[in-house]
Each structure stands twice: as structure tokens, then as C-alpha cells.
Homo-oligomer: A and B are copies of this chain.
Amino acid sequence: MKILGASKLFCCDEKFSIIDNGGVVFEGGKILDFATFETLKAKYPQAKASFYPESVLLPALSNPHIHFEFSNNKTTLVYGDFGEWLDSVIEKREGLFEDLQNSIQREIDNTLKSGIASVGAISSYGFDIAPLSSSPLRVQLFNEAIGSNPALIDALYSNLLARLQESDNHSSERFYPALSIHSPYSTHKLLAQKVAELAKERDLLLSVHFLESKHELEWLNHSSGFFKSFFTKHFGNPNATSTLTPSEFLSLLEGNKALFVHCLFADTPLLEQIHSLGGKIISSPRSNRLLNNAYLDLDRLKSIGLPTILSTDGLSSNFSLSLLDELRYTLFAYPQYSPNEFAKELVLGVTKHSNQALGFNGGEIAIGKDADLALFDIEGISQSSQEALSFILHSQKAQELYINGIREYANDF
């Protein structure tokens, strides 16, 4: 039994309660109790207790959408237009996979350092299965299906099953096999259907990229635009057509538990359809700005009852995998919102709401929740009257990170 305390305990409940000089007791990987540190010390005298002055204690962060397999990109891929970016991915793919294991390991380490305990990792090739399963992270490993050529569906599906089997072999109380349909523009309807069915049968979480670009919207609705030349140029198929409209794609996922990533160009009826499926929408603001010159309309999400949930996406379209960076840039991406109130929403978007989206039992300081906890040293935080904002502006690196009640990272390790 252990008690951790800090000048500010962010409970990350819906009201964003903060306990001054608060503490959390945990044992066996679960939170037993929380209150002021002094109360807990008196109530649990047998527990080992540590207090961190000028620090914030909060649920460890969850990054629900990340591609570790693209950790080699820094200056290779071209930003500014989704189409040009995708062309550069196709053309430069080979070079991006050299010495990949080192880059994946580096980014797993950076992930832990930034206070993240759980991730939703899109696995396109399976290169991240071994390193993630042997890391301390809690993982939903989204084995991804992609392919628009109907002649290849069986082969692609077999390849997916092989990777899923490999994930199954690694499954543990921290490592969860899951599935991904890359997107409706890149995945044939029949392949998408098979993956959706498999996810339902096995009750696996599903992740899909959805309406990330204007090009995708045009392709799905009209089989025209950038993707017409894309399929001609890269796949020698000038007769390709979209196999699904956006709404038909969503209908395929009836009965699935699914995360919809980006949704930048989804109109309100589509967002409502996602909401009625029980889907969650995940946003990667920095990636969206770099590839599509736009941010998701959070007011529209709010109006249909969907929370803000943030992820970093991969280094293929970002310059760091730190959710702390993502929080900071997102604060500045939406200048119209009152900074401290928006800061609370953003912190919930990388704790409570993103953890929930991944189907884990953390993200909030509450009795019975997983003891996934992060401590951040922020000089002067005890004097702040805008704690969430101070946290976002000033946190660079976790001081300590607990996953399942075990200290998995410390600044002085």
C-alpha cells in the first residue's frame, strides 16, 4: 500500500475537481482511496507515503492514436496538403523503415517520459508488437487492414490474421490485441466488412481514420479528385471507384466499438451517426494543421454530446509524441476559448476521455480505478489560481509515472 501526494491533485472527474495537498492510496494496481494527503496518512498509517511539493498529481495520460512504426520521419515527408503528403509516404516508405526498432524504442521511452501510461497504437506491419508488448505501457494494439484491390482481399486478410495471432501471443493484462480498418478510401468494402465482423465476434476495439482530408470526402462521394490520380499513379488503376459513401462506411460498423480518428471533414449528420454508433472521435490537432491546414470544430462535437479527445498521431505527421506538447499547441490552436476553462477540457481529453475511449479503467482519480498516475514538478503551482492552464503551459516531462501501481519511470532513473 502506497500513498502519493502533491500540492495539487487533479481528479479528472467531469467537474475537474482539484484537491489542494491531495493524495491517492493504491494497492494491487488499484486506487483504494483519495483525499488530502494528511487525511490519508492518518487513515492508512501502514502505507508508505511520499509527498511532492510544487507538483501536480493526476491520472497518467492516454494517447489513443499513435503510429510507432513511423517514428523515423523527421524531414522526409512533405506537409501542407494531404495528397502531397500521401504521395511522399508512398514514394519514401522504404527509407522510413531503416533501423526502425531503435526509433520505436526511443519513442516508447519518450512516451513514458511525457507521463503517458496507455496508448492506442496503429500497427500497419506488426513491427511494433514485440517492443510494445515488452514495454510497461498499457496498449490497445490496432492491427491494421488496408487495400482497395478486390483481387488481394483474401491475401490481405490472411496477413491481418497472422499479425492478430502474433498480438494474441503477446496478450497480457497490459497488452490488448485490437483491429483497425485504415480508412474508407483505402480499404475495399469487402475487406472492411470482414474486419468489422471479426472485431464484433471477438469483441475487439476498432480504430479507423475517417474523413481526414477534403480529398477523401470527394473520393467517397464522387470517386473523383486527388484519389482518382492517386490510384492511377501508384496502383495503375485508372478505373478505381470508391466502394462506399461515408455514411455506408459508418453503417458497416453498426455493433462495433470504434474510434474515429480525425473526422475533420465530417458534417454534422455524419458526426451524429458516429455518436449513435457509440463511436468516439479522436483529434490530432498538430497533424491536422500540418496535413490539412485545419482544426476540428470542437463546438460542433460538443453540440452533439461528444467530448474532446486528443492524440498525437505518429511522427509521420508530427514533431513529437508528447501529449503535453499536443495539449499546449491545442490551447493555442483554439484562441477563442477561455484559456483556463479550455485547459480543463484538454486535460480531460488526454486522461478521462481518452482512457475511456481505449476501454481501459483509468484516466480518473476514483476508487477502484487503475493506479496509472503521473507526477509533474511545476514550480509555483501551489500559488496558481489557474491550475489546469499552469499545468499545460509548464509541464515538460513527468517526474514519476506509475502504471498499475508500479513506478515505471522517474526523472532520476
Contacts and interface: CB of A to CB of B under 8 A. Distances in A.
A293 B337 contact: yes
Interface in A319-339: 319, 328-329, 331-333, 335-339
Interface string A294-310: 11000000000000000
Nearest to A387: B75
Interface string A71-87: 00011101110000000
Nearest to A76: B383
Contacts of A335: 288-289, 293-295, 333
Given A286-B332, A332-B332, A380 B75 contact: yes
A393 B79 CA distance: 11
A297 to B, nearest CB: 12
Contact of A339 (B79, B338, B339, B385): B79
Contacts of A289: 331-332, 335, 339
Interface residues of A, number: 38
5 contacts: A75-B378, A79-B386, A80-B338, A286-B332, A333-B335
Contacts of A393: 319
Contacts of A333: 332-333, 335
Nearest to A338: B80
A191 B319 CA distance: 48
A31 interface: no
A333 to B, nearest CB: 5
Contact of A385 (B78, B288, B290, B385): B78
A328 B288 CA distance: 15
B332 A383 contact: no
A332 B337 CA distance: 15
B74 A380 contact: yes
